[in-house]
Amino acid sequence: MLNEMNDLEDNTEEEISEIVEEINYTVSTNKYRKKLIKKISIVFVSVLLIFITRFFKHAPFDIIVASSLFVFLLGVSIVMGIGILLYMYSSINALDTERENKMHKSLLNIFDLVSVIPIFMVIVSLTNIVAFSPATVVGQSMEPTFYEGQDIIMSHITNNYDQFDIIILETKDGDFYLKRIIGLPGDHIEINNSIITINGTVIDQEFLENESGSIEVNTYCNISQLQVCEFIVPLDHYFVLGDNRENSLDSRSDLLGYVHEDQIYGKVIFKFNNIFRDVLNQE
């Protein structure tokens, strides 16, 4: 009789232990599932935000979306997220097993790393839309201030632009130019033998000086190399020139003309050389 009671107690303890173990696995697995759903939701929201940024003005300067590598990694995170959701749905009735507990834990660890990519991408894309954008100089129209291949950062936090600000503008053909603002809305500009007068005052163009401190650049009125001409800048427009005056398509030409404020994407605040790109080019 005593032995039977002991066996019964042992069986009861084993059953209780198994039930507790199942409960522990279920609770633990559900925690992993909740974290996975949260991570996947963050990834999908990030993807949606990245897609939305494509419709904003500064989308052409988003280097992250322009990168085939990052777009590929973004696709990987989407496919993996969908795959994990399908797996979680198929394993809903096996949460009390050790195998599913370990599998969910492994999936969470892997997706923790994968989810970093879309989160990083959305941060860069949103920054590009609302504050700062990178660009690379193309052409020689702003030499010697900027040379082709240099990288720049432009700010578009504000739409207030001052004389001599260096801006990025979009032409009617969809091309982007780097130019310097010379005349503001309403200014009366006169060019006379390379001397520029604005509202009766001769402007200082020290940014055109070479290493010896002299200015050897001729500012002609147009491609016909006229020496004297006048411009009156319309409201909401700007008069821009390239620093390489003899090799710059700017407001002196009817091909560009005065630049409307809506054509301006931002002003340059920083320039640098992309050493990583230089290394890749050398290879």
- Measure Cα distances from 251 to 73, 255, 256 in Å: 43, 8, 6
Helix axis angle for 116-130 and 68-90, nearest 10°, is: 130
124: Cβ contacts below 8 Å, ≥ 6 apart:
62, 63, 64
Residue by residue, pLDDT tens for the chain (283 residues) are 544 444 444 445 444 444 444 457 788 889 999 999 999 999 999 999 999 999 999 999 999 899 999 999 999 999 999 999 999 999 988 888 888 889 999 999 999 999 999 999 999 999 999 999 999 999 999 998 999 989 999 999 999 999 999 999 999 999 999 999 999 999 999 999 889 999 999 999 888 887 777 777 888 887 667 778 899 999 999 999 999 998 999 999 999 999 999 999 999 999 987 655 554 454 4
- Domain 133-273 indexed as CATH 2.60.40.10: no
pTM above 0.85, yes or no: no
- Report d(CA 62, CA 73) in Å as an integer: 16
Q: Can you give the residue ranges of every domain in the chain?
A: 2-130, 133-273
